[in-house]
C-alpha cells in the first residue's frame, strides 16, 4: 500500500478520491487551503493537512510531500480569475513537481483534462484560455521531469455515479463521472508503476473495466 499526499483535498474529485484511497488501504494526507473545510476532509478518513500551495515555495512544498510515495495533484483555482489560475494551476503545480523531485517522491499523478496540450486551440479571448494554457504548461513540465508521472485526463465531468468502466484512449469529448475519475486515480496509485508511469490516461465513461484498460498499455 502507498503513502499518498493529495493536494487540493477539498475538491469534488479529491474528496471522493481520498475516501476511496483509504478504503483501498492506502495512507492519505489530504492538503486543503480553507480551515473551514477541515471536518469535510477529515470525514474521508484522510489525515487533514492545512496548507496554501499557492503561497508555498518549493522548499515548503518539499517538506509537505516528503515521506510519501505518491503525490496526487487535484488542486485548481476554479476559474474566473486568470492571474490566480496561472498561479495555482501552472506555477504552484510546477513547484510541487520540483518539490517532489527534491524530496525523493518517486511518483506523481496529475489530474488534467482530455484535450490538454500545448496546441489546445483555445482562443485567447475565451475564458477557458488561462486554464488551458496553465494545464498545458504544467503537464509539459511533468512529462519532462524525472518523476514516474501519470496524467489523468477525463472529459466533460458529471456527478453521475461511477460504473467503474471507461472508454480508454478517448479522443472525443463525452460525459465522465467525477466518481469514475476518482476510481481511475485509485487504480493508478495501486497499479504496478511500470504499467502507469509516464502514461497519459485519456478516458470517458465507457464499457471497459478500469483494471483492464490500465493493463493494456499502448505499445
Which residue bears the cell 475565451? 126
- Residue 192 C-beta-side C-alpha neighbours within 13 Å: 7
Instruction: Give tens-digit pLDDT for 96-155.
Output: 999 999 999 999 999 999 999 999 999 999 999 999 999 999 999 999 999 999 999 999
C-alpha R_g of the chain: 16
pTM assigned to the model: 0.96
Cα separations in angstroms, 114 against 93, 133, 214 = 18, 14, 17
CA dist 11 and 43 (Å) reads: 14
Say if domain 3-215 classifies as CATH 3.40.50.720. yes
3-state secondary structure of 139: helix
Instruction: Give tens-digit pLDDT for 169-205.
Output: 988 899 999 999 999 999 999 999 999 999 999 999 9
User: Domain coordinates of the chain in residue numbers?
Assistant: 3-215
Amino acid at each position: 500500500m502507498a503513502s499518498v499526499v493529495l493536494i487540493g483535498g477539498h475538491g469534488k474529485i479529491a474528496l471522493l478520491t481520498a475516501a476511496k484511497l483509504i478504503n483501498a488501504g492506502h495512507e492519505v494526507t489530504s492538503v486543503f487551503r480553507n480551515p473551514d473545510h477541515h471536518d469535510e476532509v477529515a470525514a474521508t478518513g484522510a489525515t487533514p493537512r492545512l496548507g496554501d500551495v499557492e503561497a508555498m515555495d518549493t522548499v515548503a512544498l518539499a517538506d509537505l510531500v516528503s515521506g510519501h510515495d505518491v503525490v496526487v495533484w487535484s488542486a485548481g483555482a476554479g476559474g474566473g480569475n486568470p492571474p490566480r489560475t496561472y498561479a495555482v494551476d501552472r506555477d504552484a503545480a510546477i513547484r510541487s513537481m520540483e518539490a517532489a523531485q527534491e524530496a525523493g517522491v518517486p511518483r506523481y499523478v496529475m489530474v488534467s483534462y482530455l484535450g490538454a496540450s500545448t496546441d489546445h486551440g483555445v482562443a485567447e479571448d475565451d475564458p477557458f484560455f488561462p486554464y488551458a494554457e496553465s494545464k498545458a504548461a504544467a503537464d509539459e513540465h511533468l512529462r519532462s521531469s524525472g518523476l514516474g508521472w501519470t496524467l489523468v485526463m477525463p472529459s466533460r465531468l458529471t456527478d453521475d455515479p461511477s460504473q467503474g468502466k471507461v472508454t480508454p484512449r478517448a479522443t472525443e469529448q463525452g460525459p465522465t463521472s467525477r466518481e469514475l475519475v476518482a476510481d481511475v486515480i485509485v487504480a493508478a496509485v495501486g497499479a504496478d508503476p511500470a504499467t502507469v508511469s509516464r502514461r497519459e490516461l485519456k478516458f470517458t465513461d465507457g464499457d471497459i473495466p478500469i483494471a483492464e484498460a490500465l493493463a493494456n498499455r499502448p505499445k
